[in-house]
Structure 1
């Protein structure tokens, strides 16, 4: 070609090379970004499924807590009985927590105070904490199940909370409390911090919960008002400062992929001294946790790949061999993408199978808990029936021990009645009616005396269900002492009775209280049998909790510290073999607890034993009816 044509040809060829290179670059960049978007989408699917499974796997636990009778009893109980009910509820929550492996489970009353918790055995437990400011409590107490990310103010550990209102069937399904499960996110943090590329988990308020790099944690996507951030910090993050860093990243359209550049103040956290590199931001919503996952994929490899493709396209225009090699390279890359896609699909299928298996395990656990609740209810009914039979047997055993004394008490009046009746008949035959009338009057007095002896015995021996009424503690003590009157005189026991009549009125079952006192008096007399000084004292006072405290103190041999630890265990006794079954104190404490009382024991000052019977006070609606 002539020289001018060669120049034009070279210029045209250079322009063709440049246009082909530019076109190849754009096309390769487009496909590279699409390929990265697809990989990022699969990565988000796997991460989202794993995080959703880890966070929400304890979501069904509050339903099991709501069905537990100990929890319902605790929320129903008045303030003076909550100390007793709280122990059973704490133990149930601890067992449930140990069975499920890790979550913190606790119960709040309607004021937002933690009244039972699975971590009650630790010093930094949540008992008594006020969580009324937490969003999940406010939603649940209004009747809406809630789930929320928050940081507790006791251990300052983040977690995901599931809250469910507890309704009382006996009060027309009114809300009496809230069951809450705190699901740990340590596994999520471990997975998340292992990400090499920048990644975020953002809540609905635009606050970064987890981030790689970790310096972005508790930052905000954009500037927010300080008062809103302070309110969120108090309600969800235990007062930790939020918004110290604003990422200033616009994520509109990130669900389909968006190219962003990190602001200058964030570049040193990711890649120091490498300038403002472009990133492909991909976002995915987690419906179960109300979170948003954002992954930033570095586009620098895509740019390098596009430049390479452009160079290869230019070389392919002049060299068919390089074009063939370029085609083979493309096929190899396509096979690699297909293999990666197949691996991701297999991993996704395996993850779905694991999720199904975990769900089935949780369903089996809930069914097992329901069966256990039913079995415990049946066992409790059987136990109450057996306890009632043991109480009646104990009464009859006490009456059997007192047969000799009762016979002696009745034989004297009967002999006197027989003599006086014969004398009255003789005086009437002699027409001495005045003397006969005096003899019959004495017979009447003796008959009334025998009625006073038999009346308490009939009341004590009667088998009746426990019904709480207003009971004069002094009168109950007198009735129990009457049954031991002959034995007290025979053994020369000094009685100290510092209880005024009508001074202490308790709300309990009179017959059951008398049975407990008979058991305590009998034990005291047995303990003082070989002592030179036998003293038995009774006193009562009002405890700080409002309950009536009745103290029974003897001067017997007392008991050791080891015996105190096992005193209320069934079949434990300090008596000689054959003299007792070791059930009296256990039954007595169960009787008192049935109507809201309790029984405590300890050494008495100066030697001997001291038992304290705690009895519930008279309800406010019955106090006005007393004279």
Structure 2
């Protein structure tokens, strides 16, 4: 038992440092987390302040511009009512208010002046507040003595008030001026200015905004649900005054859905406040605005008792601040981790100093492991170099295979293009034998001459095909279209006669010429005419139209058939190499591709379309003969 006790004592001694190290590690971890949270909170606070100031500066700039615009819209016509007392018609009416002729003359004057100013209404009241004359005849005779703007003008001051029209129910800005007869106020001139331009300009701010009057009642807002609500609780006597003056018509003034604590700078008249998240919201719109927090900025408009407020959303500020906080926390964690690594390195150095012998053995073992690793790496490098060499050889083989495929396409194209001239030579040679048996040597001579020309043309066919493969340039010259068409039709003369095809050649007597290689032009025509004859093979009526014209500074040569036309779904593919709509063995699908390449080499184009009267129509566009090239 004593021995067993002696054996357990070292275990308890060794357990105490282990528990201490665990507690120390836990404490350091908690400390690091605390420092990271502290750094994140500090960065969040600083970022919110800095970005709020930036948002405040940007919003104040927008607010200044909008306030200036609103002042220009509302106050540009304020001096106009003062000029009404200069009118002789108005002065005469105020001296004799009951004269119908003077009422009509003064109303006509006010109507013309209001139309020139662009106001909503312009009218004149007597000392009792009765409208004597107005631009709107419906106002004449109304008693508006209860309006504040009338009372202020009657006392000799300029009245400026928002109010809703008694008759039309349209809100406006009323400006009133006293009309003097000497030192006595004998009447009041009132101009109603429309506020529609202000409603149309809310988009300039890009944020919810409102206009409130001296009663702190919202008279205009970018959000309709805010209109005719009070920013502060109205006293009972003020509510009674509003009912008497009927400034807001029949609208019931309710409380503004957001509770905003505003601060007003008496010197600059700058209004500012913050709507904290979740405070004082009633209604869906109020809860939506208050849930994210808003910066409230405002201005008192010069010369009016109106206050302009804008609600800038603080959500982007907080989102960016949250990102800054996260970045600061991560940075603090990185610094702490770096400090931990430095401390760990210091401890490792101390351990190396204490256990030098053990470390030397470890270094030896690691050196041997590194040597083995280097040997494996050298082997892998050799294997990789061998793989790269094999890949390079495979690439060379692929390039060679591509060249062989191109040579196969070229051989196929030559076979396709030489088929028709060889058929013509076969026909002409048979005719020559028949003519010799008859003794018609002149005809034999003509056929042999044609065969010689076709042989030369066969040699010329090979060069364009090689040009199609390697994009070589042709030798352009003045090529007469009638000659090219005649030569192409001659090759198909026997087939045209056997298949009873009616040819309408409008180029026979045409002097038109194009700037291109004549042999290549004939080759294009041979392809187009051959395709047209193939398309009409099953048609009961077969006709071929060929015409040429100078158009848009170019030469247009058209070949039209009486076949079924081009399938709209396949029309864009007819110029693809090896694409053919003919039956198996009817063609290789290279003729149109080569023809379009020839046209483009000459500086022109080959287009395919269906003719309105039926059949396919191919248009060959070629450049005209230059003036300096005409002999």
Q: Give the TM-score taking structure 1 as reference length.
A: 0.46
Whose Rg is larger? 2
Q: Give the TM-score taking structure 2 as reference length.
A: 0.46
